[in-house]
Amino acid sequence: MPAANQAAAAERIAQLRAEIEKHDYAYYVLDAPIIPDAEYDKLFRELVALEAAYPELVTPDSPTQRVGGRPLPEFGELTHRVPMLSLANAFSAEEVEAFDRRCREGLGVARIRYACEPKFDGLAVSLLYENGIFVRGATRGDGYRGEDVTQNLRTVRNLPLRLKGEALPRFLEVRGEVLMLKRDFARLNARQAELGEKTFANPRNAAAGSLRQLDPRVTAKRPLRFYAYGVAEASQEDRIAKSHSEAMAKLMAWGLPVVAEREVVEGVEGLLAYYERMARKRQDLPYDIDGVVYKVDDLEAQERLGFVARAPRFAIAHKFPAQEALTVVEAIEVQVGRTGALTPVARLSPVFVGGVTVTNATLHNEDEVHRKDVRVGDTVIVRRAGDVIPEIVSVVHERRPPHARPFVMPKTCPVCGSAVEKPASEAIARCTGGLYCPAQRKQAILHFASRRAMDIEGLGEKLVDQLVERGLVKSVADLYRLTAHELSSLERMGEKSAQNLVTAIEKSKATTLSRFIYALGIRNVGEATAKDLARHFGDIKALMNASADQLMAVPEVGPVIAESIVHFFAEPHNRRVIDELLSAGVHWPHEKSAESGKLAGKTFVLTGTLSSLTRAAAKAAIEAAGGKVTESVSKKTDFVVVGEEPGSKYDKARALGVTVLDEAQFLELLR
């Protein structure tokens, strides 16, 4: 190797070691990682590769020479009777196919049965039972020797200190993971914060920090769980089953906790289908997982396949894409919403996270930007879990460029230049331009056309942008004046689609009063309130002329909503647009006002299953008769309708003395 390259490699190696040591300290000692695991792995892999290329640069103190966590000297060391192996990883379907191929070729069979289980993100431990009594437990450590954490493990609530049943093996070494359930983690962190103690970054760190407490009394207060994933066998005499799945069933029968989400599948299609199922379930599982594990089910086949280096050939972990990654904030832009709300949005260097490429993350509002102290140029951790929108978790402060300035909310609207106001009592800054502001106008039109409002099919964002920018649509009433000829002059609009849109707009004229009220986009008036208003007033003119007091006579309309409505109709422009819409032919069937229907003013709650009609049908029937259906029982509820297998609402109704109707009584009332 040329000396110059070697010098460069030596320098990079030194950098990487320093960086990795810093992260090891943050992770293992402080239980407070600075960067995502995937990012750490990248650094580590780079170091491994460099040291492989320049073996003369490997030193005994390199982080690569330390495998697993070194035992804390405060705990006694324990040698595992059977080494605790590591698991190879697969990150793609191709790698899983290669794993299956190797197994099939190694065994000389066409198809393999696999045991599949979640891959817990916890701490691997080994438990020793002698004649059914828990005698010792250790962390994985370097795989050969771990820390003796017997006293701490005894405090883990679901770990049996004595196994159930008869014919228990003389020695049983159970392998598994210690972890914290998501809800327990949330509760623990809330309690830690309340006590002014340190909080944990994630359930894994909380579990690690809790199990490696020097004082078992502290561990005892932490909600740890154990799940078994295997049995270590020192000899043939120890064999308790013919297959992994059978062994797990046996552990369960002896009272050891075994995860419910385990399955036996056939072939590589079976593996990939299990992966997909678990990926979909992931968010709803009570524990964190970072992938799934596949194991050849037949134990004899496992033995024949054997091991490479320190990992078994018969098992592999199929990891989910990392949910956190590092990227750089290129800009913080401000978006204007329908009600003028200004939302700061971080524009990010594209980064692959949670299985998709992310380029934006909402920052919600000004306070949020300041709380997280996100600045342009910052390196940040972005997280995208499941289908939720990407968010910035935190800033890596050490990577902040020297002149990064804090974000300032603009004083004027970035779209229309109107003043921005932010009442002291609110978190949201707003553009005061109203419908003068093209951004608000666009959003107002999109809302008006949306499915639950006027339901104009085909009127999407790209089109609305063009219509507003070309001045073809200034208010929603202008929509009803558009011709197919005008529309076909727009980009990506053929004659056929122009005609379709005109038809859709025409069709939207036949609507309902509640949809119409909702479509107006009055601040604080959502679908449910629009329905209440329609039912109460029965007519748009009555609503337009209502005073705040009259509005507050509607159940569930308080001073804030009333004020928004009065404010909206006080605006001459809004009244004019409504008149124009009505003249254009927007209409709805006459609504019975609250005084007319036979169930007028009555509030219902439904619970349990009705045999003769669906929930939606029951609701529609009540509403058609002027009544109202709400979700929860209160003193204001008039009737609770009880079907088969009612929930707690039934008990609550009885406790509050609300009239309870069975299905027959309810049908009688409707008749």
Do the Cβ atoms of 391 and 362 come closer than 8 Å?
Answer: yes
Closest CA to 468 of 443, 493, 501: 443
Q: Which of 22, 119, 164, 649 is catalytic?
A: 119
Nearer to ligand D41, 295 or 430 (CB): 295
Output the six-digit token pair for 556: 């569930």
Q: Report the nearest approach of ligand D41 to the CB of residue 491 (Å).
A: 53
Per the rule left: phi > 0, alpha: psi between -120 and 50, beta: everything else, 345 is beta
Both tokens of 305, joined, read 């396949």
Between 117 and 366, whose beta carbon lies closer to ligand D41?
Answer: 117
Is the Cβ of residue 153 or residue 599 nearer to ligand D41 in the bound state?
153
Q: Is 122 exposed, middle or buried (0-12, 13-18, 19+ CB in 10 A)?
A: buried
- Min. distance of Cβ 311 from ligand D41 in angstroms? 7
Q: Which residue has the tokens 């260097």?
A: 349
Neighbours of 486 (CB within 10 A): 16
- Closer to ligand D41 at the Cβ: 128 or 439? 128
**Whole-Å CA distances, 573 to 472, 514, 515, 537:** 18, 21, 20, 22
By beta-carbon proximity to ligand D41, the closer residue of 256 and 293 is: 293
Q: Which residue in this structure is represented by tokens 């929509």?
A: 479
Is residue 540 within 8 Å of 530, Cβ to Cβ? no
Nearer to ligand D41, 69 or 597 (CB): 69
List Cβ neighbours of 206 (8 Å cut-off, separation of 6 or more). Answer: 31, 180, 185, 188, 189, 200, 222
Q: Residue 655 half-sphere exposure, CB side, CA atoms within 13 Å?
A: 7
* Nearest distance from C-beta of residue 143 to ligand D41, angstroms: 8
> How far, CA to CA in Å, does 344 sit from each of 237, 339, 381, 535, 591?
65, 15, 17, 38, 42
Query: What H or E segment, with its residue span, contains residue 316?
Result: strand 315-319
**Of 81, 252, 240, nearest in space to 167 by CA:** 240
| CB of 498 vs ligand D41, minimal distance in Å | 57
Residue 121 CB, shortest distance to ligand D41, in Å, is: 7
Q: How far is the CB of 132 from ligand D41 (least distance, A)?
A: 22
Number of Cβ atoms within 10 Å of the Cβ of 430: 22
Q: Could you tell me the smallest distance in angstroms from the CB atom of residue 393 to ligand D41?
A: 23
The answer to whether 409 and 429 have CB atoms below 8 angstroms apart is yes
Rounded Cα distance, 150 and 274, in Å: 35
The answer to whether the beta carbons of residues 118 and 285 sit under 8 Å apart is: yes
**What DSSP line would sit under 449-512, residue for residue?**
HSTTTT--TT--HHHHHHHHHTTS-SSGGGGGG--HHHHHTSTT--HHHHHHHHHHHHHTTB--
Name the minimum Å distance from CB 290 to ligand D41: 8
Q: Return the amino acid letter for 523.
A: R
Decide whether 305 or 325 has the Cβ nearer to ligand D41. 305
Distance in Å, CB of 115 to ligand D41, minimum: 10
Query: Per the structure block, which two tokens stand in for 449?
Result: 């056309």
- Output 293 or 392, the one with its CB closest to ligand D41: 293
Q: Which residues contact 191 (CB under 8 A, 6 or more apart)?
A: none
Tokens encoding 51: 């040291």
The CA distance from 564 to 638, in Å, is 29
Q: In sequence order, what are the residues at sequence separation of 6 or more whose Cβ sits closer than 8 angstroms to the Cβ of residue 375? A: 329, 332, 395, 400, 404, 405, 406, 407
Task: Give catalytic status of residue 119 as yes or no.
Answer: yes
Nearer to ligand D41, 297 or 391 (CB): 297
Long-range contacts of 613-616, Cβ-Cβ distance < 8 Å, separation of 24 or more: none
Strand residues in 384-443 grouped as ranges (E): 391-395, 420-421, 430-431
Q: Judged by CB, which is closer to ligand D41: 316, or 530?
A: 316
Q: How far apart are CA 425 and CA 197, in angstroms?
A: 30
Q: Which residues bind ligand D41 (CB under 6 A)?
A: 85-87, 117, 119-120, 124, 140, 175, 177, 229-230, 293, 295, 312, 315
**Residue 226 or 407 with smaller CB distance to ligand D41:** 226
Min separation Cβ 85 and ligand D41, Å: 4
Q: How far is the CB of 204 from ligand D41 (least distance, A)?
A: 11
Please identify every residue annotated as catalytic.
Answer: 119
